[in-house]
Amino acid sequence: MFHPSYRPRRMRHDEFSRRLMRENTISTNDLIYPLFIHDGQGRIPVASMPGVERLSLEELLVVAGECVALGIPVIDLFPVTDPARKSLDGAEAWNPDGLAQRAVRALKAAYPQLGVMTDVALDPYTTHGQDGIIDEAGYVLNDITVQALVKQAVSHADAGADIISPSDMMDGRIAAIRQALDEAGHINVRIMSYSAKYASAFYGPFRDAVGSAGNLGKADKKTYQMDPANSDEAMREIALDLDEGADMVMVKPGMPYLDIVRRVKSEFGVPTFAYQVSGEYSMIKAAAANGWLDEKACVMEAMMGFKRAGADGVLTYFAPQIARWLKED
């Protein structure tokens, strides 16, 4: 009889030894919940993201209460802007009484213990749907845009935001935002930088949700978001953002970019996050709705993939569902 020198299946034989050798775990502490908010009443479903709704301020507070009860550490806000308030320069982004700023104030008053993160980029506010200010040719101008992002970031921090999250991919914005936050007295407001953000087709449903898809039309974001072909370039982006003062870095999208997550964690050893984006959410939802995939098993497997790749946390639209599953098990 042939006996292999080692049998890996031995440790997989029983649940107790599978548990014993498990290298990674999923916890509610790993979750950041992205939420869409609107200035009207009630909840408006997002057609391309089954189960996701745009929330009024009142409904936002209801959901925030649920997040606190579930132990989710942080929520991330994405406002839907009234088309009448959109402009070429996206000035609504730094309106102290804008939707995002009012939402932050209401959240921090109701649930001071819940971390509130805000997205810094101009796309929900511009008539052309780009993340920055454009020239006649439609090119996003870097340095003028950074000045606008600084105003937006400070207005969010003034409203009480705990984490500022620039998702625009302009050069030099982390340094500019850090300096402006410090000068405004917000030395403890954290920055989670979308450092390695790719020009991805997986953002499609998100652009429906915030209502920027129609503004953007057939244009793309390839002059500022990264080329999916590149990995070394992502390391350079991460190094720059850390140098400029980022507290946490993010890779986005998630599942197609797990190699990037692993490289960031291995090469820099800093707090590293992955964004399971709208398209990743919708794929799982659509397949599950057709009975082709087991939703819970696939979501948890994807989460484990993020953890194994080295992510300290994941931005996911499944966050409350995952937290509930973890409670049940």
Residue positions annotated with a catalytic role: 197, 252
How many C-beta neighbours within 10 Å does residue 286 have? Answer: 14
Task: Return the number of the residue (86 or 207) whose C-beta is nearest ligand PBG.
Answer: 207
Residue with Cβ nearer ligand PBG (104 or 121)? 121
Q: Whole-number minimum distance, CB 14 to ligand PBG, in Å?
A: 40
Tell me how far, at minimum, the Cβ of 112 lies from ligand PBG, in Å: 26
**Cβ 170 to ligand PBG, closest distance in Å?**
11
Quick one: angle between helices 319-328 and 57-70, nearest 10? 30
Q: Which is nearer to ligand PBG, 9 or 316 (CB)?
A: 316
Q: What is the 3-state secondary structure (H, E, C) of the chain?
A: CCCCCCCHHHHHCCHHHHHHCCCCCCCHHHEEEEEEECCCCCEEECCCCCCCEEECHHHHHHHHHHHHHHCCCEEEEEECCCHHHCECCCHHHHCCCCHHHHHHHHHHHHCCCCEEEEEECCCCCECCCCCCCECCCCCECHHHHHHHHHHHHHHHHHHCCCEEEECCCCCCHHHHHHHHHHHCCCCCCEEEEEEEEECCHHHHHHHHHHCCHHHHCCCCCCCCCECCCCCHHHHHHHHHHHHCCCCEEEEECCHHHHHHHHHHHHHHCCCEEEEECHHHHHHHHHHHHCCCCCHHHHHHHHHHHHHHHCCCEEEECCHHHHHHHHHHC
CA distance 329 to 326: 5
Footprint on this chain of ligand PBG (rule: CB under 6 A)? 119, 121, 123, 131, 167-168, 203, 206-207, 221, 277-278
Residue closer to ligand PBG, measured from CB, 87 or 111:
87
Residue closer to ligand PBG by CB (options 79, 310) is 79
Q: Which residue is nearest to ligand PBG (CB)?
A: 206
State both tokens at 226: 């990264």
Which of 221, 265 has the CB closer to ligand PBG? 221
Cβ 285 to ligand PBG, closest distance in Å? Answer: 13
Phi, psi angle pair for 111, to nearest 5°:
-135, 75
Min dist CB 80 to ligand PBG, Å, is 12
Q: How far is the CB of 98 from ligand PBG (least distance, A)?
A: 16
User: What are the structure tokens assigned to 13, written together?
Assistant: 């034989």
237 in a labelled binding site? yes
Q: Binding site for Mg(2+): residue ranges?
A: 237
